[in-house]
Chains A and B, each alone.
Chain A
């Protein structure tokens, strides 16, 4: 960009810091920040209760709405997992549960947790709340569309939950919805259940597209003065890249949902070959079940990173703040996020090594999959190198981060087993897979969510969550979840297939009865422990200690709002001007061990701060 705007009076910057914006050459003023190129956004402030809290256009309120709705679905998913574990560990106590029920619970648990809980929570929840605050914007660029995005999500959740109450119940096709069984009798919920699922997914994608456009454009277009891309917190980088992935990946889910709906309702044959059922040849022919799998995983694999990248970003910021040290290798971290995001579109068929696709694909997809391990490993190294020679506060937030590192590395390494094509052959479709993906994209992102909740709660609510309760919450969750999923890998080695309602008496499976009981008990405890957080939040809101502004002594803009919690518009009269990255912690020569992003170079002239 040239500096041509500088001569235009209507875009003259308001800040007094701009001494001479019109010379485009080297500016003698070290505090110079380019003036804004466009004027400020007009915000619509709600007037009534409904406009302020229900159909609200403030991204922060929308973020909280997304968060609470996602948490509601998460609790439903949690209860379903309890029911599944009851059947697997103590079938004699689960007499009320038929195989139909079990498969419906499995399916709804999976779909809810991946799409309606994790995706909505990270992007809709944290994305909405944090993006405008962290990039120094007053709100998302399209607040009205943003509001519609949440309500579309809300309707999608309502449709999904309605499927529990229709004749035949919700779909029991497995969260991957592989045809032909998905829409054939023989699978529970193959009537109304699957239709509602497909409608709900389509609504989710539509709603998400509205939100996603907002996140991307706000980050690209509405950053405050001085907030260059390479000064953005990694949280924003993670959410941004994940949103781009979602914009490219969700259409594949949408078209496969539409095609499957047509197969179901109009007897088209996109995914349906000639099928013989109960002695009758059905009115299908010529379709390809594997085509669905390609479409599904073209969405499904990036989806893993749609969940993981925001978690990567957030945990980087939490580690840096609480280790009082700059994130190690920021540029490498940014390129790793972008690189992982790009590569994630070239690995989808590693979910399909034994699907019956052309086996020669295996060579290509194993190679791309293992290549992705390199940038991912770099991120792990940089997290632990951020801890190295840091000044680490071992508080609740940091504990969740450490728990994340352990579970993520564990789950990442089992990913190398499954990605390595011939190693996948004996392990695919067994409990090893379940253990792997729960560790890497269930527990690890959950650790980040929890860390983020404890970290940003003082900003959102203005009060500090109780540390002691937080630590109990962490240790029970971490130790419990680890003892659920670590031993579960070994069930997979034995060869126990996933999605088995009952194990029967195969010798290698009966040997695992004790382990199944143990895992179930751990699952009950871990699930129950989450209510410690609910209790903590209620207690804190009632009687908690008031948070000072910026209690963690962080540098990023969300802690420098005019009020805590921030009001609509975020930053009071003037938008902040950014002079540095958010990781100037423990700079030699500086008075405090942190330099906020808004601190001008002339204010820290005698420090050894590096130019960012």
Chain B
């Protein structure tokens, strides 16, 4: 008898925990509210099934616990009941799958006006590159990476000359403008993840992966690496600062282009040579 009571308390406790939990998702700061809504829907449907199944089980424990003088029912099959349950489950599952797929469709189709951001990851840090005035990122290769070319931009690619280098683990983004995150890694898997944006994707060495979102809340956010990348994984943090258009443009104008960076290094080289001659 008390077995049933303890199980009942577990179920009631679970529901109460869910209602009163102080731990729940962070305030969303992107367009992916649909993900939160689907989670909420899944909670209602799934949670309802969980509670119903467990309550039925507890009812059976109370109602049909062993008595010497009673016999269980003998009924090997109930085709009709099984059919009803199969179809009801199929419908419920389809109802959950549909919104999931609709949002995934949005997730994999990037809006045309999205600004591309090249996120480059390594053990253990981040840096960023934005397209310059031509609106296009130059192509890259891991083998090109050097002090005077931190992103490995192909020197022959005209689109690369005006690319904007952000040699910092913090990137600024313009509020209410979709961003297409292009992920690269030079060594192992990483994952550029901001909980408030909800979205994530692995960075895979040897290929470029992507995802997109539209930040919609001005503020500073922490970037976490969400794919295990070796012993420094937990410490591989970065930052995002979402700004209004005006602030963002001020910030953007202060950044160095690939051309400027190359020139700076050439000057350094020239100065270095001069020093060496003296």
CB <8 Å contact, B78 and A425: no
- In this complex, the member of B104, B183, B226 whose beta carbon has the largest number of chain A beta carbons within 10 angstroms is B104
- In this complex, the member of A100, A286, A287, A493 whose beta carbon has the largest number of chain B beta carbons within 10 angstroms is A493
A181 interface hit (Cβ, 8 Å): yes
Provide a sorted-by-A list of 19 A–B residue pairs whose CB atoms are within 8 angstroms. Answer: A181-B230, A277-B123, A289-B205, A328-B75, A329-B78, A355-B202, A378-B85, A381-B85, A387-B61, A387-B64, A389-B64, A406-B10, A406-B54, A413-B50, A416-B46, A417-B39, A427-B39, A486-B17, A494-B23
Within 8 A of A (CB), among B13-68: 14, 17, 21-26, 32, 34-36, 38-39, 42, 46-47, 49-50, 53-54, 56-57, 60-61, 64-67
Known A391-B70, A410-B50; judge A275-B186 contact (CB<8 A): yes
Contact with B along A370-394 (1 / 0, CB 8 A): 1101100110110011011111111
Stretch from B164-172, B191-199, B243-251 contacting the other chain: B191-199
**Which of B10, B34, B35 touches A479 (beta carbons < 8 Å)?**
B10
Instruction: For the complex formed, measure the closest distance between the CB of B111 and the CB atoms of chain A, giving whole angstroms.
Output: 15
How far is it, in angstroms, between the C-alpha of A425 and the C-alpha of B107 when the chains are bound? 10
CB <8 Å contact, B234 and A501: yes
B265 interface hit (Cβ, 8 Å): no
**Across the interface, which residues of A come within 8 angstroms of B115, CB to CB?**
none
B201 interface hit (Cβ, 8 Å): yes
Within 8 A of B (CB), among A271-289: 273-277, 281, 286-289
Instruction: For the complex formed, measure the closest distance between the CB of B234 and the CB atoms of chain A, giving whole angstroms.
Output: 4
CB <8 Å contact, B230 and A281: no
Instruction: For the complex formed, measure the closest distance between the CB of B170 and the CB atoms of chain A, giving whole angstroms.
Output: 15
A235 interface hit (Cβ, 8 Å): no
**Across the interface, which residues of B come within 8 angstroms of A479, CB to CB?**
6, 10
**Which of A391, A427, A491, A503 touches B72 (beta carbons < 8 Å)?**
A391
Contact with A along B186-218 (1 / 0, CB 8 A): 111101010110111111111101000000000
How far is it, in angstroms, between the C-alpha of A558 and the C-alpha of B167 when the chains are bound? 70
Within 8 A of A (CB), among B245-260: none
**Across the interface, which residues of A come within 8 angstroms of B224, CB to CB?**
495, 497, 506
A423 interface hit (Cβ, 8 Å): yes
CB <8 Å contact, A421 and B100: yes
CB <8 Å contact, B17 and A356: no
How far is it, in angstroms, between the C-alpha of A181 and the C-alpha of B229 when the chains are bound? 6
Stretch from B86-94, B129-137, B269-277 contacting the other chain: B86-94
B156 interface hit (Cβ, 8 Å): no
Residue of A nearest to B39 (CB): A423
CB <8 Å contact, A276 and B122: yes
**Across the interface, which residues of A come within 8 angstroms of B61, CB to CB?**
387, 392, 394, 402
CB <8 Å contact, B71 and A588: yes
B177 interface hit (Cβ, 8 Å): no
CB <8 Å contact, A184 and B64: no
How far is it, in angstroms, between the C-alpha of A330 and the C-alpha of B46 when the chains are bound? 26
CB <8 Å contact, B230 and A409: no
B266 interface hit (Cβ, 8 Å): no
A225 interface hit (Cβ, 8 Å): no
How far is it, in angstroms, between the C-alpha of A414 and the C-alpha of B196 when the chains are bound? 21
CB <8 Å contact, B17 and A370: no
A430 interface hit (Cβ, 8 Å): yes
**Across the interface, which residues of B come within 8 angstroms of A186, CB to CB?**
123, 187-188, 229-232
**Which of A100, A326, A409, A515 touches B54 (beta carbons < 8 Å)?**
A409
CB <8 Å contact, B89 and A508: no
A325 interface hit (Cβ, 8 Å): yes
**Across the interface, which residues of A come within 8 angstroms of B222, CB to CB?**
506
Chain A interface residue count: which class?
A: 35 or more
**Which of A373, A394, A405, A504 touches B65 (beta carbons < 8 Å)?**
A394
**Which of B23, B56, B101, B123 touches A511 (beta carbons < 8 Å)?**
B23
**Across the interface, which residues of A come within 8 angstroms of B240, CB to CB?**
none
Instruction: For the complex formed, measure the closest distance between the CB of B163 and the CB atoms of chain A, giving whole angstroms.
Output: 19
**Across the interface, which residues of A come within 8 angstroms of B230, CB to CB?**
181, 184, 186-187
**Across the interface, which residues of A come within 8 angstroms of B85, CB to CB?**
377-378, 381
CB <8 Å contact, B142 and A373: no
How far is it, in angstroms, between the C-alpha of A177 and the C-alpha of B65 when the chains are bound? 48
Stretch from A34-42, A358-366, A538-546 contacting the other chain: A358-366
A152 interface hit (Cβ, 8 Å): no
CB <8 Å contact, A402 and B188: no
**Across the interface, which residues of B come within 8 angstroms of A420, CB to CB?**
38, 42, 96-97, 100
**Which of B21, B64, B96 touches A391 (beta carbons < 8 Å)?**
B64
CB <8 Å contact, A356 and B207: yes
CB <8 Å contact, A329 and B77: yes
Known A329-B82, A501-B234; judge A275-B101 contact (CB<8 A): no
CB <8 Å contact, B7 and A494: no
**Across the interface, which residues of B come within 8 angstroms of A423, CB to CB?**
35, 38-39, 42, 100
CB <8 Å contact, A593 and B72: yes
CB <8 Å contact, A281 and B231: no
How far is it, in angstroms, between the C-alpha of A399 and the C-alpha of B11 when the chains are bound? 16
A596 interface hit (Cβ, 8 Å): no
Chain B interface residue count: which class?
A: 35 or more
**Across the interface, which residues of A come within 8 angstroms of B96, CB to CB?**
370, 416, 420
A583 interface hit (Cβ, 8 Å): yes
CB <8 Å contact, B122 and A180: no
How far is it, in angstroms, between the C-alpha of A291 and the C-alpha of B187 when the chains are bound? 16
CB <8 Å contact, A494 and B77: no
**Across the interface, which residues of B come within 8 angstroms of A410, CB to CB?**
14, 50
Residue of B nearest to A482 (CB): B10
Within 8 A of B (CB), among A466-521: 475, 479, 482, 486-487, 490-491, 493-495, 497-504, 506, 508, 511-512, 515
How far is it, in angstroms, between the C-alpha of A511 and the C-alpha of B60 when the chains are bound? 40
How far is it, in angstroms, between the C-alpha of A330 and the C-alpha of B78 when the chains are bound? 10
Instruction: For the complex formed, measure the closest distance between the CB of A434 and the CB atoms of chain B, giving whole angstroms.
Output: 12
How far is it, in angstroms, between the C-alpha of A363 and the C-alpha of B101 when the chains are bound? 6
CB <8 Å contact, A499 and B67: no
CB <8 Å contact, B204 and A290: yes
Instruction: For the complex formed, measure the closest distance between the CB of A461 and the CB atoms of chain B, giving whole angstroms.
Output: 25
A172 interface hit (Cβ, 8 Å): yes
Instruction: For the complex formed, measure the closest distance between the CB of A378 and the CB atoms of chain B, giving whole angstroms.
Output: 6
CB <8 Å contact, A413 and B17: no
CB <8 Å contact, B35 and A178: no
Instruction: For the complex formed, measure the closest distance between the CB of A259 and the CB atoms of chain B, giving whole angstroms.
Output: 16
Residue of B nearest to A178 (CB): B189
Known A511-B22, A585-B72; judge A413-B47 contact (CB<8 A): yes
CB <8 Å contact, B50 and A499: no
How far is it, in angstroms, between the C-alpha of A273 and the C-alpha of B141 when the chains are bound? 12
**Across the interface, which residues of B come within 8 angstroms of A487, CB to CB?**
17, 21, 23
Closest 3 CB pairs of A and B: A273-B206, A495-B195, A356-B209
CB <8 Å contact, B200 and A428: yes
Instruction: For the complex formed, measure the closest distance between the CB of B84 and the CB atoms of chain A, giving whole angstroms.
Output: 10
CB <8 Å contact, A374 and B86: yes
**Across the interface, which residues of B come within 8 angstroms of A392, CB to CB?**
60-61, 64-66
A188 interface hit (Cβ, 8 Å): yes
**Across the interface, which residues of B come within 8 angstroms of A354, CB to CB?**
191, 200-202
How far is it, in angstroms, between the C-alpha of A289 and the C-alpha of B14 when the chains are bound? 40
Residue of B nearest to A286 (CB): B206
How far is it, in angstroms, between the C-alpha of A491 and the C-alpha of B123 when the chains are bound? 26
B143 interface hit (Cβ, 8 Å): yes
Instruction: For the complex formed, measure the closest distance between the CB of B211 and the CB atoms of chain A, giving whole angstroms.
Output: 8
Residue of A nearest to B26 (CB): A508
**Which of A332, A384, A506 touches B82 (beta carbons < 8 Å)?**
A332
Instruction: For the complex formed, measure the closest distance between the CB of B216 and the CB atoms of chain A, giving whole angstroms.
Output: 16
